[in-house]
Amino acid sequence: MATFISHSPAETEALGEAWGREAAAGWLIGLSGPLGAGKTQLVKGLAHGLGIGGRVHSPTFTLIHEYAGGRLPLAHLDLFRLDSPAQILGAGLEPYLLQPPGVTVVEWIERWPEWSDASFHCGKLRRVRVELLDEQQRRIVYEDSGG
């Protein structure tokens, strides 16, 4: 388990960018943390590290944003508005969670019950928890498992 203390949104994005440069097809990154913690900042950096240009924003109301044009496609999901596994399945999000063609990042991953069982996914899983320390600082704790 690794811990990173971010002192600014730019530092959070830089961490995500480093992850994007090392990412491989099949990666699933699950993000947990309160509203405003910086989860989307990490995804912005990740997209940049993958070579994806353009604006990256939270898919809270659309559930998913897909980005192409980088070395791997990026799917950015947000489960905040979904209350049950049945709603996740009904929204058609399961393929992104089980076998991402590129990299899938999921905000509010704790709403997907299989997340706690790493055997459901055949690629690399990165579990990330973003904690608010103060107005600017964040503690980002992450752990990898799988492929």
Q: How many CA atoms lie within 13 A of 64 on its CB side?
A: 15
pLDDT of residue 73: 96
C-alpha 6/C-alpha 70 separation (Å) is 26
57-74, pLDDT tens digit by residue? Answer: 888 778 899 999 999 999
pTM: 0.90
Residues of the chain with pLDDT under 50: none
96-119, pLDDT tens digit by residue? Answer: 888 788 999 999 888 776 655 555
* Mean pLDDT, the chain, whole residue set: 88
Q: Are 57 and 88 in contact (CB under 8 A)?
A: no
Domains of the chain by start residue, with CATH: 2-146 (3.40.50.300)
Helices (H), the chain: 9-22, 39-49, 85-90, 94-98
